[in-house]
Amino acid sequence: SAGQGPYHAAKGGVRLLTKSLAVELAQLGYGIRVNSVHPGFVGTDMVRDGLRHAVEKGLMPGENEAVEMLTMQTPIGRLGVPRDIANAVLFLASEESAWMTGAELVVDGGFTAQ
């Protein structure tokens, strides 16, 4: 959508930088894994501000309706909560993810899987 270019460019940059650094640091033998977390719509001030802005521009009928629409479009049936993202980060920081590097961990309730 209009005005989202810088956001999308930065997100794309993070994705490619993750992969590049993962390979580089692995080949150099530093033992550092590099992964990135890509959250979906989480009930935070940032998302609420974005929805409010969309309502002000007439792109959505109202903030409550916008939240309802996003909820309906998310296969899991709810917006995320900060703990959902924190748990993903904890997983990546744990030994359970010891063989992961260069991964883009999408945590969005299935939104982008559609």
Residues designated as active site: 7
Domain 5-113 CATH superfamily: NAD(P)-binding Rossmann-like Domain (3.40.50.720)
3-state secondary structure the chain: CCCCHHHHHHHHHHHHHHHHHHHHHHHCCCCCCCCEEEECCECCHHHHHHHHHHHHCCCCCCHHHHHHHHHHHCCCCCCECHHHHHHHHHHHHCHHHCCCCCCEEEECCCHHHC
pTM beyond 0.75, yes or no: yes
Per-residue pLDDT of the chain (114 residues; tens, 9 = 90+): 677 899 899 999 999 999 999 999 999 999 999 999 999 999 999 999 989 998 999 988 999 999 999 999 999 999 999 999 999 999 999 999 999 999 999 999 999 999
